[in-house]
Structure 1
Amino acid sequence: MTISITGSDAPPTAPRRSGSQVSLLALGTFAVGTDAFVVAGFLPQMADELGVTEAAAGYSVTVFAICYAVFSPLLATVTATVPRRRLLVAALVVLGLANLGTAVAPNFALLMTSRVLAALGAAAYTPNAGAVASSLVTAERRGRALALVVSGLTVATAIGVPLGNLASRVMGWRSALGLVALLCLLIGAGLAVLLSKLPGGNRVPLAARLSVLRNPGVRLILPVTVLGMAAAYTAYAYAIPAFDAVGISPDAAQWMLFLYGVGAVAGAQSSGRLTDRFGGTRVLVVGYAVMTCTLVAFGTLTLTSAVLPVPVGVLAFAWGASSWCQTPPQQHRLIAAAPNEAPLVIALNSSGIYIGIGVGTLVGGLAGAGDATWMFFSGAVIAVIAAVLLVATGRVARHG
C-alpha cells in the first residue's frame, strides 16, 4: 500500500460533506477487503466447480496478494499525476469488472487472470483513498479520517467474509462475487458524483520511493511484517476445511469467520493504544505468543475427534486478534527507524503485509488444503521465527 499525502494542503470541503466523502472512501476499502479475503468463505465450492484442488484454488489469494504488493509502488509512480477522483473511480471500476470476470470464469486459468486484474484495481485504490481522505479534512481530523478509511479492511474480515460465505450458500459463489462487483461499481459511481476534484501530485521516481530500503533498520524490520502475516495466513484462505477439521461444519463456519473478524477489529484497535503505552516490540511479542499458542491449539484439535465449538470460537477470536494486532506496532517501529520518511515506510509495510499473506497461503496449501494439521502447525512455526527475528531487531527501532 503506497501512501502519499497528495493534496494534503488543499483546503478541506465543508465538514459535513467531507465526512460523507470519507465514509464513502471507507466503503471502498471495505469492498477491497471483502474482495481480497472473501474467497476463504467459499473455497471448497469454487474448487469443486472449477475442477481443481482446494489448495490450488487457495493460490488465487496468493496471486492477488503478491500482485497487490508488486503493483502498489509501480502504480503509485505511474499514476502520480492523475487527478485523484478519476484514479479512484477507475480503480473501483477495474476491481468491479475483475470480480465480474472471476464470477463468470469458465476455468481456473481465466479466474487467476481476473485476480491479477483485481489486484491492479485494489493496489490503485486503497493507498490513494487514505491520502485523499487526509486531504479532505482539517489537520486535527486527519488521523481519524485515515483510521476510518483503513478500518474498512479490518471490518471486511468481520462482516464481508462471513456475508460472502452466507451469500455463496444461498446463491452460489459466483453470485457472491457478483455482489462484490456490484458494490465496487456502486461505490465508484458514488465517488464520481460526490467526491471533490483533487489534482494529482508530482511524479516521484520508483528508485526514490524505494531508497528508504537503504536504511538498515527498515531492512531488518520489514521481514517481521512478512513473517508475521505469513504465519497468520497459512490457514485463513482454507478456513472452511480448516474449521471442518476441528469439528465445525461448513454451515457453522460463518460464525467462526465472524468471530475471527471481531477479533481482527479488536486486535487492530487495541494494539495501537497498547503500542503507545508499552512500545511496539512488547506488543508484538505478546501478539506472536498468542498466535503461536492459538495455532498450536488448533493443530492439536485436528489430531483429536473432539467437537468443542465454544473453545474453537474463542480460538478463532484470538487468531483474528493476533493476526491484525501487528500493523500499528510495526508501523511504530518503522517510523522510529526512519522518522523523516514515514509515508514511504508505511507504504512498504503494507506491501509486506500482502507479501506475507501470499506466502502464508502458499505455505498453507503445500500439503493440500485437506491437511489442516500442517496448516496450523506450519503457521505456529513461522510465528515463532517471526518472534525470534523481532527480538533480534527490537533495538533497531527507536522506542520500539
Structure 2
Amino acid sequence: MSATRQGLPRALWALMVGNFVIGTGVMVVPGTLNDISQSLGVSIPQAGQLITAAAILMGVGAPVFASLVAGWDRRRLLTLSLVWYGVLMVACALAPNYTALLPLRVLAVISPAVFTPQAAASVGLLVGPAQRGRAITFIFLGWSIASVMGMPLSAWISGGLGWRWAFGLVALMSFLSGAWVWREMPDGIKPAALSREAWGRTVGSAALMSAVAVTLLSAFGQFTLFSYLAPYFAQTLGAGGAALSLMFLWFGVFGLAGNVVVTRSIDRIGAPNAVFITLGLMVVCLLLWPLGRHGFWAQALVVIPWALGCFSSNSAQQARLVQISPELASATVALNTSAMYGGQALGAALGGMMIAQGRMLQLHHVGVVVLLTAMAMSAWAAHLQKRSCAAA
C-alpha cells in the first residue's frame, strides 16, 4: 500500500473522508433544525429530539456493535456502514412527516455507531506505534472538515431548497465514500476480537474510565447549546439561512485549524495536555458567550475558542485512550464514541427542556459548569495514568 507524502497509508485518507461524511450526516440536523421544525410543523424542542434519539442509539450502539462485528473484515464492514448510511438518508429525505422521520433517523445513525470507532480501531493495524497518535487525529480531521463544509452547506441548502435536499446530499456522499473505502482499505484488517476479559480490563481500569468520563462531560457541556445554535442565532441575531451558513463556516474553519494544530503537536505535548488545553479554550468561549449578542461579528469572535477546542478535543481523547492501552483500543474507542454520543443526548435533552421553559439564553451557563468538571476529570485521569505507568 503506497504512502502519502506525510508517510501515512492512503487508506487513512479514505477513512478521514468517511468520517467527514459521517460527521456531516450527524450534524445535518442541528444545521437544518429551523427548517425541519417549520416544514413538519413541530416545535424546536420536539425537532431537537431527532438529535437526542439518534445520540442515544449511537451511544448505546457503539460498544454493542463493537462486540457484534468483532470478527468482520474492516474493509467490508466500513463500506457496508456507509452504504447503509446512504440508503437511510434517502429514506429520511423522503419521510412524509415527523412521525416517520424520527425512527428512520435512529436507524440511519447505526452507521456512525459502527464507522467512527471501528475506523479508529483499525488504525493500529495500518500504521506503527510511532505514528498511531498522529494517524488517529488525522482520520478525525474528517469531523472538523464536516464542520467547515458539511454543516454550513447543510444550513445553506436547507435555507434555499429545504432540509430534504441536505439529507439527500449526505446520501450521495455516503455512496461515493463507501466506494473509496472499498478501493483503498486492504483485505484482512481485523482488530482483535473483544473478549469478556478485554471488556473487564477496560471497565476495571480507573485511568481508562476516567478518560472516557471526560468525553461524556465534554459532549454534554457542548451540546446543551451546540444542538440549538441555529435557533439561538435566529433569536439573538435574527440570522437566516445565509447568515447561519456563514457562522457555521466560520466555526468550522477554526475547528479545522484547531484539529490540524493538535494533529501536528500531540506527540510532542502529549494527549492529556492537549485535552486540557482544548477544554480550557471552550470554557473561555462560554464565559464570554453573552458578548456575542451585540452583533454578528461579535458572536463570530466569541465562538473562535470553542471552535478551536471542539473537534480537536475529541481527537486528542481518542489518541489518549489508544496510547493508555493499545491492546484494548477496540473497546476503549467504542466506549469513547459511546460517551461522546451519550453526552450529546444528555446535552440535547437538557437544552430542549430549558428552551421549552423559555431559558434559551441560559444554555451556556450549563456548558461552563459541565466543561469545568470535564477539565477537573481530565486532570484526575492524567494523574491516574501516570500512577499506572509508574506501577508498571
Write the distance in 2 (CA, Å) between the matches of 1:314 and 1:120.
36
1:397 aligns to what?
A: 385
The correspondence of residues 167-206 of structure 1 with structure 2, limited to 5 A, is: 167-192=157-182, 195-198=185-188, 200=190, 203-205=193-195
Query: Does the CA contact (< 8 Å) of 2:217 and 2:371 recur in 1?
Result: yes
Q: Could you say which structure has the higher helix fraction?
A: 2
Query: Does the CA contact (< 8 Å) of 1:94 and 1:117 recur in 2?
Result: no
2:151 aligns to what?
A: 161
Write the distance in 1 (CA, Å) between the matches of 2:225 and 2:154.
18
The correspondence of residues 1-400 of structure 1 with structure 2, limited to 5 A, is: 13-15=1-3, 20-132=10-122, 135=125, 145-192=135-182, 195-198=185-188, 200=190, 203-205=193-195, 208-247=198-237, 249-250=239-240, 251-271=242-262, 276=267, 282-299=273-290, 301-302=292-293, 306-307=294-295, 309-331=296-318, 334=321, 338=325, 341-368=328-355, 371-398=359-386
| TM-score normalized by the length of structure 2 | 0.86
Q: Structure 1 residues 169 and 15, CA, compared in 2 at 3 Å: closer, same or farther?
A: same
Query: Does the CA contact (< 8 Å) of 1:333 and 1:398 recur in 2?
Result: no
Write the distance in 1 (CA, Å) between the matches of 2:285 and 2:63.
34
Query: Does the CA contact (< 8 Å) of 1:85 and 1:197 recur in 2?
Result: yes
Paired positions, count = 384
Q: Which amino acid aligns with 2:107?
A: L
Q: Structure 1 residues 334 and 144, CA, compared in 2 at 3 Å: closer, same or farther?
A: closer
Q: Structure 1 residues 299 and 377, CA, compared in 2 at 3 Å: closer, same or farther?
A: farther
The offset of 1:44, in angstroms, is: 0.9
Write the distance in 2 (CA, Å) between the matches of 1:285 and 1:138.
26
Query: Does the CA contact (< 8 Å) of 1:241 and 1:372 recur in 2?
Result: no
The offset of 1:146, in angstroms, is: 4.0
Cα deviations by residue, 1:370-394 (Å, 9 ceiling, x for unpaired): 6431222221222223234444555
Write the distance in 2 (CA, Å) between the matches of 1:313 and 1:387.
25
Q: Structure 1 residues 371 and 206, CA, compared in 2 at 3 Å: closer, same or farther?
A: farther
Cα deviations by residue, 1:105-162 (Å, 9 ceiling, x for unpaired): 1222321211221221222222333445654567776665544322111211111100
The offset of 1:188, in angstroms, is: 2.0
Query: Does the CA contact (< 8 Å) of 2:191 and 2:330 recur in 1?
Result: no
Query: Does the CA contact (< 8 Å) of 1:333 and 1:397 recur in 2?
Result: no
The offset of 1:96, in angstroms, is: 0.9
| TM-score normalized by the length of structure 1 | 0.84
What is the aligned-residue RMSD (CA, Å)?
A: 3.1
The offset of 1:163, in angstroms, is: 0.9
Cα deviations by residue, 1:19-48 (Å, 9 ceiling, x for unpaired): 554323322211101001111111011012
Q: Structure 1 residues 81 and 334, CA, compared in 2 at 3 Å: closer, same or farther?
A: closer
Write the distance in 2 (CA, Å) between the matches of 1:113 and 1:282.
40
The offset of 1:283, in angstroms, is: 4.6
1:6 aligns to what?
A: none
Q: Structure 1 residues 275 and 129, CA, compared in 2 at 3 Å: closer, same or farther?
A: closer
Q: Which amino acid aligns with 2:343?
A: G
Q: Which runs of 5 or more structure 1 residues have no equivalent in the other structure?
A: 1-12
> What is the SS of the residue equivalent to 1:364?
helix
Q: Structure 1 residues 378 and 141, CA, compared in 2 at 3 Å: closer, same or farther?
A: closer
Q: Which amino acid aligns with 1:165?
A: A
Percent identity for Structure 1 against Structure 2: 28
Q: Which runs of 5 or more structure 2 residues have no equivalent in the other structure?
A: none
